[in-house]
Structure 1
């Protein structure tokens, strides 16, 4: 088994399960949001604010963003491992993508929780 800093001691089975679980969460969130836009005739600020003022929606949104983080992290690692052979370049790209993902998560947390 190949291990490095990017895998954090995980196995391929662990990655497989995380990818499938995050895909399910993202599918459910997408279906919910499509349903919201289909059944809501006009989306105003008040309606949008009301939707995201609900604690369940805030938790669901954070869960979806964490699912995006896991999904993208594993996907980026797999793609870079397959296609970028230069170790220094791969490490730099992984760092930049990971930093970007964490900035996205922080932005969503600040937006959803209104801190």
Structure 2
């Protein structure tokens, strides 16, 4: 029989590091987007659409950004469920609902980006 250590100094460290890394990726993207918007200074719907038609296909279509966003959210919400919801069945149900919602949001985001 193998003894598994469920608690300790390194338990959850990987997820903590990944969540911080995804936050950095999203922060860099946000700064780039703000710089582009400030440089272009859009004043009409057409100019806003022009920014995003060009930039969405260049920047937003990068899988790294989408994966970063959804993995960051998954780790955060999962940790909330694990910390505050004690009944195992309810916690599992909430995790399944969260995963289903994130998959739905990902599909919705792809649909929105393809329409631009």
Listed as ranges, the gaps of 5+ residues in structure 1 are 3-10
| CA-to-aligned-CA distance 1:30-84 (integer Å, 9 cap, x gap) | 1122223323323433333333333322324x53332121011111111111111
Root mean square deviation, CA, Å? 2.3
2:20 is the counterpart of 1:20: yes
**Aligned residue in 2 for 1:47:** 47
The more displaced of 16-25 and 71-80 is: 16-25
Give the 5 Å matches for 1:1-115: 1-2=5-6, 12-54=12-54, 55-60=57-62, 62-114=63-115
Runs of 4+ in 1 over 4 A off after TM superposition: none
- Distance in 2, Cα, partners of 1:112 & 1:63: 15
Listed as ranges, the gaps of 5+ residues in structure 2 are none
Q: Alpha-carbon deviation of 1:17?
A: 3.0
Q: Size of the alignment, in residue pairs?
A: 106
The more displaced of 41-50 and 89-98 is: 41-50
TM-score normalised by length of structure 1: 0.74
TM-score normalised by length of structure 2: 0.74
